[in-house]
Amino acid sequence: MIPANANPNFIVAIVGIGGSAGGVKAYKALLDALPIDTGMAFVIVSHILPTASSQLAEILSTRTKMTVMVASMEMPVLANHVYVGPPNADLLIEDCTFKVVSPRTRLSAPIDVFLTSLAEAMGARAIGIILSGYDGDGTDGCKHIKAKGGTTFAQDASAEAGDMPQSAQAAGCIDFVLPPDKIPAVLQKLARTFADKEV
């Protein structure tokens, strides 16, 4: 990681957000409650079919004043930005830069792939959030984040499809179980803690 005093665009943490069925509603609720100046970067990876096209970046850009864009190869990750994973591609992160592998190498686990990469890249400054969706994508990724000292969240019973957040909770790798609109308050506290460590 780059020390804060060496980079004016220092990212206090990178937040990986995974969802599937019912996820768009949850993403909107989270962004609606999220301040635009946390110093964090937010990366949304949806578990969707490889053939599906997504207008998610356009949809979510109406819910926040942060810049929302589709992640692409060699794109730098900036604080106070929201990134959306590209369709039919594995999204990875290395040295605060995106890597894109297309087509997907693990069709059933794009969220796990990203969160595992995030854990390796950011260590204790990696944050994983598992929102509404079917199946168990994201659970292994959250295990990696916890193993590296990061922080994890899962959506509570408000999830339209509870499989993904419940799978992560059952694995014992989740720190906070909350509705999406309550997660930003905890993120702000974490951001202040990380920032204080850099002073």
pLDDT of residue 50: 57
Q: Is residue 197 part of a domain?
A: no
Q: Per the structure, how many domains does the chain have?
A: 1
Which CATH number fits the domain that encloses residue 150?
Answer: 3.40.50.180
Q: Convert the pLDDT of each residue in 107-157 to its tens digit.
A: 679 999 999 999 999 999 999 999 999 999 999 999 999 999 999 999 999
pLDDT of residue 9: 58
Q: Is residue 76 part of a domain?
A: yes
Q: Is residue 170 part of a domain?
A: yes
Q: Is residue 5 part of a domain?
A: no
Q: Is residue 82 part of a domain?
A: yes
Q: Is residue 29 part of a domain?
A: yes
Q: Is residue 141 part of a domain?
A: yes
- Residue whose structure tokens are 């339209």: 160
Q: Is residue 36 part of a domain?
A: yes
Using CA atoms, how far apart are residues 127 and 186, in angstroms rounded to an integer? 11
Using CA atoms, how far apart are residues 79 and 129, in angstroms rounded to an integer? 17
Q: What is the pTM of this model?
A: 0.93
Q: Convert the pLDDT of each residue in 51-102 to its tens digit.
A: 555 789 999 999 999 999 999 999 999 999 999 999 889 999 998 999 999 8
Domain carrying residue 134: 13-192
